[in-house]
Structure 1
Amino acid sequence: MDIGSAALVVIDLQNGFVNHHSRHAVPAVSDLVAHWSDTGRPVIFTRYFNHPGSPYERFFQWDRLQEPPETEIAPEFADQALSAYATIDKTGYTLFTPEATDLIRETGWTDLVFCGIATESCVLKSAADAFEHGYAPWIVTDACASDAGPEVHDAGLVVARRLIGEGQLITRDHVMRQISAYNMAAVLE
C-alpha cells in the first residue's frame, strides 16, 4: 500500500447501519481514522440515502435510511466527519458516484483503503469498483462489519478475496505498520 497516494474511505458508518452486529467495528474504525488523519492523508466518508421507489424498496421491501436520524453519521464520528477531506452522498452500494470518481481522478490517489459497514455490500462493491477503475483497493477486515451479522461479514470477505485478491485484504495492524513507516520516512526527509 502506498499511503502517500492513498485515501481512507469510511463506508456508511451511519446510525441506521450500526446495530448489535456491527457496533464492534465503530471503535476499530474510529481508531483507524484517528491514526490515518495524523499522517495528514485524506479521509473520505460516505453516506447512503434510500428513497421512495428505490430498488431497495422494490426488490427487498426495505424502506430504511430515508431520513434522519438513520441517515446521519454515527455520533462517534461527528468530529472526524466534519474534518474529513470529503463526504460522498450516494443512493447505491458504491463509492463511485460521478462526484467521487472525479475527486479520485483529480487528486491522483492510486490506493483506496476501505473500512465501515457493510462488508458484503457497500464495502465490497466499492472495493470491486476501485479494482475495475484501476485503483489498488484495500479492505481492512477488522475495521468492517455487516449489520446482518458475522456470517454475512465473513461471506463478504470470501467474495472479496475472489474479486480483488487475497493480498488486498489487510488488518488494522498492517495499516498501523504502514502508517509508522510513512511517518518515519517523513521524519527522515
Structure 2
Amino acid sequence: MTSGRAVLVVTDMQNGFVREQSAHIVPVVVDLVRRWQAAGGDTLFTRYLNYPGSPFERYFGWQRLQSSPEIDFVPDLSPYIDEGVTLDKRVYTPFTKEGLALFKQCGWEEFYFCGIATESCVLKGAVDAFEHDFTPWLIADASASHAGIEAHDAGLLVARRFIGPNQVIRLNDIPAALIDLPPQ
C-alpha cells in the first residue's frame, strides 16, 4: 500500500474553519496527529491566509481568515505543531512553489490528507498530489466541511473520480506501520 516516504497533511485546521458542521473532526484529527507523530511520521500543517483583494474576497465576498485568531491553528493541535512542518498558503493547495520545494527537500512521495474542508482544500491537495505523480490518500473520516455533510460527501464523490476510488480511505485503512496503535 505504500510507495515512498509518507507525510500526513493536516489541512487548514484553523479557528476560522471550525464551525458547528466541522467541529466534530477536531478530536479525530488531533488523535490521528498524535498517533502519527508517536510512530515517527512526518506531519505537514497547512495554514490558509486570506488577504485583501484575494480571489476569495473578489468572487465570494469572503473576507475572513485574514488575521488572528481566525488564522491560528485550533488550540488542541498546539502540542504537535512544533513536531511538524508548517506551510502557509494563499490558495487551496499546498502544491505551491514553496510547497513543491519543501516536498522535494523532505523526500515526501506519499501524501495522506485530512482536515478542513473536504470539498475544497483537502480535495485540491489530493488532486494536485495525483497530478504531480505522488501517491495521494484522502482520509474520509478525518476530514470535514464547514459547509456541512453534503459538501463533505460531494468532496468525497469528486475525490473518488479524480484520484481513484481506492485512494479515499478511512482511518482503519492507514497502514499500521504509519500510526501508533490506539490503546486497547
Aligned equivalent of 1:75: 75
Aligned equivalent of 1:98: 97
| Structure 1 Cα separation of the partners of residues 81 and 139 of structure 2 | 19
2:39/2:178 contact within 8 Å kept: no
SS in structure 2 at match of 1:157: helix
State how 1:32-181 maps to structure 2 within 5 Å.
Answer: 32-84=32-84, 86-175=85-174, 178-180=175-177
Q: Which has the higher helix share?
A: 1
TM-score (norm 2): 0.94
1:39/1:179 contact within 8 Å kept: no
Listed as ranges, the gaps of 5+ residues in structure 2 are none
1:45 counterpart letter in structure 2: F
RMSD: 1.7
TM-score (norm 1): 0.91
1:127/1:138 contact within 8 Å kept: yes
Render the CA deviation track for 1:43-66: whole Å, top value 9, x for unaligned. Answer: 010000000000000000000000
Identity over aligned residues, as a percent?
Answer: 51
Alignment length (residue pairs): 181
| Structure 1 Cα separation of the partners of residues 148 and 179 of structure 2 | 34
| Structure 1 Cα separation of the partners of residues 166 and 54 of structure 2 | 35
Listed as ranges, the gaps of 5+ residues in structure 1 are 185-189
Render the CA deviation track for 1:44-95: whole Å, top value 9, x for unaligned. Answer: 10000000000000000000000000000000101111221x1000001001
